[in-house]
Amino acid sequence: MTAAFDQPTITDAARRLRAGELSATELTRAALARAAARAADLHAFITVAEEAALRDAAASDARLRAGKPAGALEGIPIAIKDVIATAGIRTTAGSRILADFVPPYDATVTARLRAAGAVIVGKTNCDEFAMGSSNENSAFGPARNPWDVTRVPGGSSGGSAVAVAASLALGSLGTDTGGSIRLPASYCGVVGMKPTYGRVSRYGVIAYASSLDQVGPFARDVTDCALLLGVLAGHDARDSTSVERAVPDYGDALAGGAKGLRIAIPGEYFVEGMEPDVERAVQSAVETLGGLGAQIGSVSLPHTEYAVSAYYVVATAEASSNLARYDGVRYGSRVDGDGTLLEMYRRTRAAGFGDEVKRRIMLGTYALSAGYYDAYYLKAQRVRTLILNDFARVFQDADVIVTPTAPTTAFRLGEKVADPLQMYLSDIFTISVNLAGLPAISLPCGIDAAGLPIGLQIIGPPFGEELVLRAARAYEAATDWHTRRPPAPGGSR
C-alpha cells in the first residue's frame, strides 16, 4: 500500500487513477498509514479523518469505474490546515478554546476541494489561531520538520507543509497572513503559494487578521500548485473581500518559460545576518533565471525596513477584534464557576488562549485604544500604503520580484520561543507581500550545509499569479531541488 502512495505529484497520481492503475482507496489507505506511522515524530495532524476519507475515496472509485467525468482532484488525498472549516470534522485552530468545535458547514475552499473530487484525510497542526512562525504555539504540541525532527517546520501552516514533504498527503491547504504558507514551504522543501488578497475566498476560515489572511496551496511542484490554485480561486458572494475577476487557466502559464521575463532583485532583501548558504543559493537561482533568458535588474523597496513593525500593529489590532467573539457563550470552551459574567469571560479566555495569542490580543488592544490609535494603528496603515506604493513603482518596469523566502533555514525547536522579537523577524522577507496584498510563491532552490532546504520567493503584481507560476516553473524545470526528499524516518542532524 505504501509503495502505491509514493507518487511524485498530484498530476501523475491523477493520471494513474484515470488509467485504472491505482484506486483512490489504495491511495487514501496508504496516506492514512503513513500519517499513523509518523504521528509520534512529526505530529503533522491534529485530527485524522480516517472514516470520512475512506468513504469519500470509495465514492471516487465508484465514479471512476462508472466512467463519470472526473474532477480535477478526483481521488487525491489532501490535508487541510486546522483553521479552515470542515463540516463534520473537528476544527480547533490549534487552540484549547476550540478543542471540541465541529463546524456544521464547509469553508468555501473545502467545498471546492470536495467538488473537485479531493479526499480530505485530516486537519493539520498549526500555530494557535495561525499566530506564529514556527508551529510551536499550537495547543496540541508542535509539528516537526521531516528533514530534521529537532527543527521547526515553520509556521503557522507547519503541519500542512510537513504533510506534503513527508508524503502524508499529495497536497494541502494553508493560510498566509505574514508568510505562514511560504515560510513552512521554505523550511520543509516544498512549494507553497499565497495568492493575491481577494483571489481565494476566506468564507469559513477562522480569522486572525482579516485584511491580511489568504488561503493557498502546498504541493510537491509548481504544476501541482497551479492545479490546486485553479480549484480554489474564484469569486464567492459570501466573502465581501472576494474579487469578481475571471480565473485564468493557471496550467497554461507554466509553459511560458523565463525568456523575456523582467525580474527585479531588491537590495533590501539581502541583509546582514542572512545565512551565507541562503544568499548563495538565491544568487545562484537568479543566475539560472538569467541564463534562461530573463532580464535581471536591481531595484529598491525603501520602506521594507518598516514592514515588520507595521505588520505587528495592523495584524494584532485586527486579531484583538476578531478574537473578542471567543467568550465562552456562543461556541467554544467555557470555564464555569462562581461569580459574574465578566469573571466567566476572564476564566474562559485565560484558560483557552495560549501565551502568544494573549500577547497579540494585548498588543492589538493597546494599539486601538483611545489616545494611541493615531500613534500606532493609523501610522501603521500609512506605512502599509508606502510599502504598497514601493511595489507598484517596481512593477511598472518588472514582471516579478525574486528574493529569499527567509533569511535562514529551519531553526531548532525551542531556539526562539523565549524571544518573540527574534521569532517575528523570521518573517522579514514575507510580511511586505501581505501588507501589499500581492501573490507570491516559495519553491526549493538549494540545501544548506546542515542538509536543510532553502526557499526562493517569487512575488508578482496584483492578480499576477500567472507570471509568478511561469517564473517558478521555468526555474523548477531547469533544476532538481524540488525532487529532493527528506531523510528516512528517525533521522536527525
Which residues carry out catalysis? Answer: 81, 156, 180
CA gap 452, 409 in Å, rounded: 6
DSSP E strand boundaries for 157-241: 171-175, 191-194, 215-219
| Terminal-residue alpha carbon distance, the chain | 29
Using CB atoms within 10 Å of the CB of residue 298, give its burial: 0 to 12 exposed, 13 to 18 middle, 19+ buried.
exposed
CA gap 228, 171 in Å, rounded: 8
Pick the closest to residue 176 from 474, 432, 466 (CA basis).
432
Q: What SS3 state is found at 401? A: strand
Pick the closest to residue 433 from 396, 471, 395 (CA basis).
395
CA gap 493, 491 in Å, rounded: 7
Q: How many residues does the chain have?
A: 493
Q: Strands across the sheet with 440-447, in order? A: 45-48, 119-124, 77-81, 171-175, 215-219, 191-194, 440-447, 453-459, 400-404, 262-266, 295-299
Q: Are 33 and 39 in contact (CB under 8 A)?
A: no
CA gap 134, 404 in Å, rounded: 18
Cis peptide preceding 156, ω within 30 of 0: yes
CA gap 302, 390 in Å, rounded: 7
Q: Alpha helix locations (H) across 38-149?
A: 39-42, 50-65, 108-115
Residue type at 323?
Answer: L
Query: Per the structure block, which three cell numbers stand in for 271?
Result: 541583509
User: β-strand 453-459 against 400-404: which pairing, if any?
Assistant: antiparallel
